[in-house]
Amino acid sequence: MGRYVARRLLQMIPVFIGTTLLIFLMVYALPGDPVRGLFGDKGGSPQVIAQLRHQYGLDQPILVQYWHYMKNMILHGDFGTQIASGRPVTDVLGDAFPVTLRLAGLSFLIEMVFGIALGIVAGLRAGRVTDNAILLFTLLLISVPVFVLGYILKVIFAFDLNWLPPNVNDPTNYNEMLMPAIVLATASLAYVTRLTRTSIAENLRADYIRTAIAKGLPKRRVVGVHLMRNSLIPVVTYLGTDIGALMGGAVVTEGLFNIQGIGGTIYQSIVRREGTTLVGLVTILVLVYLLANLLVDLLYAVLDPRIRYA
C-alpha cells in the first residue's frame, strides 16, 4: 500500500509539469498582450509599456518565462504577481479558493447524499413506478441547462416566495450559498443517481446477495453492507473526478449568483491575459484532480476487499 501510494505520487510529477507547461503555452498563444490591454482604446506611453513588460519578464522567451515561473513556485511557493493589480497571485488565490471550496463542498454533499439515496431507492424498485419517476426527474435535471435552472429557482424561491436571497453577498453565509450549491449539484446529482441505480439493480441479482438473504441476514444489513459496498465503486469514481469539475467548472453558476470564486477568476484571467494567475489557479486544480483520483483508487480497496495494492 505504502509503495503504491509513493509510486502514484511520483507519477504526479510528470503529469504536473506537462499540464502546467501546456497551459502556459496556450495562454502565450492567445492573441493580445496583458500589458497593452491595460491601456484600452487610448494607447499608452511606450516607455511605461516597455517597463511593465520588462518587470513581468514578458520580454523573455516563453520557455525562460516558464522556467522562472516554475522555479519560484516550487522553491518559494510564489505564484507571481498579477499584472494589472500588482497583487501577488497567492493573495488572489487566497481570496477565491475558500469561496469556491465552500460552494463545491456544499454541492458535493448535496449530490452525494441525495444522488446515492435516490439511486438506491430506484435500484431497489427497478422497473416500478418509483424507479420511473426518478428516471424522469433525473433526465429533467440533466437536460435543463444550469442557467435556466438557476433563473427558475431564483424566480420561485427568491422573488415569489422570498425564502432565500437571490444572490450571494457574503460567501460565508450558507443560507445564501444554498441555492447556488443546489444548482451546481443538480447535473452531477442526476448522474450519481443513474450510476447508483444501475449497479444496485445489477448486483441485486448477484449470487452473494442471494446467499446473504438465504443466510437470514436482516434486509438492512444486506442492502447497507453487502449490496452498497460493491455497488458504490463506479459512483465513487465519478464523485472523485467531479470534485475537480465542481471547483473549476462553476463559471456559469458563479456568474449567475454573483459568487467571486475560482470560475469567475479563471474567466477574468483569460480575458485579461493574466497568464500567471491562470496558471496558478489551474495548477492548484490539477493538484486537486490528482489527489482526488488517488483517493478514489485507495477507496476501491476499502470498498472491495478483492482489490489489493501491492
Residues that bind other proteins (CB under 8 A): 30-34, 36-48, 50-52, 55, 84-87, 91-92, 95-96, 106, 109-110, 112-114, 116, 154, 158-159, 162-167, 169-170, 174-175, 178, 224-225, 228-229, 254-260, 264, 271-273, 302, 305
Place of cell 459512483: 235
Q: Which amino acid is at 293?
A: N
Question: Judged by CB, which is closer to other proteins: 62, or 70?
Answer: 62
CA 236 to chain centre: 14
Question: Judged by CB, which is closer to other proteins: 12, or 105?
Answer: 105
For every residue of 153-195, DSSP letters joined together read: HIIIIIIIS--S-SS-S-TT-HHHHHHHHHHHHHHHHHHHHHH
| Least distance to other proteins, CB of residue 274, Å | 10
Question: Judged by CB, which is closer to other proteins: 23, or 96?
Answer: 96
Report d(CA 247, CA 288) in Å as an integer.
9
Question: Judged by CB, which is closer to other proteins: 120, or 290?
Answer: 120
CA 41 to chain centre: 36
| Least distance to other proteins, CB of residue 45, Å | 4
| Least distance to other proteins, CB of residue 74, Å | 25
Question: Judged by CB, which is closer to other proteins: 11, or 33?
Answer: 33
Helix 89-124 / helix 275-303 crossing angle, nearest 10 deg: 30
Cell of 85: 493589480
Question: Judged by CB, which is closer to other proteins: 84, or 142?
Answer: 84
| Least distance to other proteins, CB of residue 15, Å | 29
CA 199 to chain centre: 24
| Least distance to other proteins, CB of residue 151, Å | 9
The DSSP letter of residue 85 is T
223 and 124 in contact (C-beta within 8 Å)? yes
| Least distance to other proteins, CB of residue 31, Å | 5
Euclidean distance between the first and final Cα of the chain, in Å?
6
